[in-house]
Structure 1
């Protein structure tokens, strides 16, 4: 027989009976919209290359809950270069991506290109550079005259070399370019088989020091130091997604800005977060890489004046002209075809203190 005992209402004390009757007769309270959790928007985000510490702000935005606070469910993946990442965004396989803005410019210069635009500029200065050995007599860009430079297939820095050479009165025909695999770019320079290599300043230079090449024997010839006005990596958005979900794009940008600020404040933690996503990643190497990126590419004088994420349309127009020296546009894009600033917070929300 069951051990539970039932009671009739008449068996309850008067006070308890009154409370029970009150609870039964109270009308059900309507749940307000504010009390209902806002559903998350899924965002597939593509990096245009393998992960390194320069991407740390995105990972801190995820780690610290910045994306979640904006009701975004962000997943990351990587592509084999900016053209592939742009193709994913144009097709709608990714809502957002990090790409070289100069590749976006070339993409938009094609017939019937999807109207993909950048919504946030991460690298205010392009990382293009030629890394050389001082022991080979190279100290300045004109010293490349008669030298051999190793260049990997698809190296983005070479796309702007003709304009840079012309701007600095260098006879481009006297610089010998030796095609190499990206995998041997640093080993071939450290072994002395070439005089210099082309690439990104925060990748090649840092990797060479890690390989034991003395820092004092390395000279980093940054394009930006020789008149190249190109911007670097930027976040681009699928046009249909940006039109349908503008608040999601704005939220992503706000979270990314918070991630950049956290990276500036705690670079070691940021580098570690990136390393946790890199197979056999090296914390000290990635921290050095991140510090290089912050100084050379992100926290420029222009950014300190005008805030993160934006750009100067006149400067962008000049950089498009530089690209045109080695690229035939079917239809030259204007700055307004490349960048859309409507998703940026006001300047006060983008300044770096």
Structure 2
């Protein structure tokens, strides 16, 4: 692990006066999705001065799906991003020289889910056979569906898969045009609630609770940039962890930071979405014991074996090719409070 002898924030504290604007390093950050509840900790880290304490000026851009940030970071358009690590694994297998890797796990328990309607007979994985499943082709949850299906002995030929767009996914389920959809547990569920679907009619089948060993979304970094700017990346990750801790302690402040960037959002709904992501995906028992950002090597290897059940690796699958803890901070910021 890269050990920074003194964080930028600590060094700044020894100087007289605040950090001058010209001393801040610009760090564009590419999200995977829209400005919704789970993005709030990053905005709170901006508003609370956590990035600035590390000498960073962070600008956050929305994304269009779990795959969206990978090419942005790989090409160097963004130094850091947020993406599904399983999609990153396949990308790097197909593009082994691409300068991008995961540097901090965020969703220790992936949010990949199948969301269905109880009134349409969807409550368990087996219920999907003979039904219509709406799935956006770029969706991270859909990408993992074959492994989920195999783990649950589902006959893929018995499931009618209808490609849908992200904007039409939940409306089609709400209107009964499909029986279930793939999506993230905290996104699709609350989108259905917003559309007026009764909550007791919504079933959430979290893939991680039904045989999926995979991890979820991680902070990714351009490796050329990280090698040239290790303290910048480490400082960024420290501020991210502190932002999640701050959001856990004061979710209202986190949502306030989010609404400032997306005034059209429903504050209460996005607060629920944030809390769902914390409870189900981020603050897992493993993370609370070991700290945020790292991985369990045995579990990661099991996940690679699961990916290989439905994907033919072109090269040797090795965790070191897809994830490094070299830039994780050692200042205690990874322990969620």
**TM, length-normalised to structure 1:** 0.86
Q: Where in structure 2 are there 5+ consecutive unaligned residues?
A: 1-13
Structure 2 Cα separation of the partners of residues 213 and 112 of structure 1: 44
Shift >4 Å, 4+ stretches: 33-38
Q: Where in structure 1 are there 5+ consecutive unaligned residues?
A: 1-32
* 1:325-344 → structure 2 map (5 Å cutoff): 325-344=309-328
Structure 2 Cα separation of the partners of residues 71 and 49 of structure 1: 26
Matched, 1:92 2:95: no
CA shift in 2, pair 1:84/1:215, >3 Å: closer
Match of 1:25 in 2: none
Q: Is the Cα contact below 8 Å between 1:43 and 1:95 reproduced in 2?
A: yes
Structure 1 Cα separation of the partners of residues 316 and 237 of structure 2: 28
Structure 1 Cα separation of the partners of residues 104 and 95 of structure 2: 24
- Equivalent in 48, 55, 65 of residue 32 of structure 2: 48
Structure 2 Cα separation of the partners of residues 332 and 198 of structure 1: 29
Deviation at 1:70, TM superposition (A): 0.6
**TM, length-normalised to structure 2:** 0.90
Q: Is the Cα contact below 8 Å between 2:190 and 2:269 reproduced in 1?
A: yes
Q: Is the Cα contact below 8 Å between 1:111 and 1:330 reproduced in 2?
A: no
Deviation at 1:270, TM superposition (A): 0.7
Match of 1:250 in 2: 234
Deviation at 1:108, TM superposition (A): 1.0
Q: Is the Cα contact below 8 Å between 2:65 and 2:139 reproduced in 1?
A: no
Q: Is the Cα contact below 8 Å between 2:50 and 2:239 reproduced in 1?
A: yes
The structure whose Rg is larger is: 1
Structure 1 Cα separation of the partners of residues 211 and 52 of structure 2: 41
Match of 1:26 in 2: none
- Equivalent in 252, 273, 291 of residue 307 of structure 1: 291
- Equivalent in 249, 256, 262 of residue 272 of structure 1: 256
* 1:66-145 → structure 2 map (5 Å cutoff): 66-145=50-129
The one-character-per-residue Cα deviations of 1:209-252 (angstroms, maximum 9, x if unpaired) are 12111111111000011011211111111112111111111111
User: What secondary structure sits across from 1:150 in the alignment?
Assistant: strand
Structure 1 Cα separation of the partners of residues 236 and 68 of structure 2: 22
Structure 2 Cα separation of the partners of residues 79 and 218 of structure 1: 26
Q: Is the Cα contact below 8 Å between 2:66 and 2:140 reproduced in 1?
A: no
Deviation at 1:84, TM superposition (A): 3.9
- Equivalent in 179, 186, 190 of residue 206 of structure 1: 190
Deviation at 1:95, TM superposition (A): 0.9
User: What secondary structure sits across from 2:57 in the alignment?
Assistant: strand
Q: Is the Cα contact below 8 Å between 1:118 and 1:234 reproduced in 2?
A: yes
The one-character-per-residue Cα deviations of 1:145-187 (angstroms, maximum 9, x if unpaired) are 2111111232221222122111112222211112222212111
- Equivalent in 284, 287, 290 of residue 268 of structure 2: 284
Match of 1:345 in 2: 329
Q: What is the root-mean-square deviation in Å for CA atoms of aligned residues? A: 1.9
The one-character-per-residue Cα deviations of 1:18-50 (angstroms, maximum 9, x if unpaired) are xxxxxxxxxxxxxxx955958222211111222
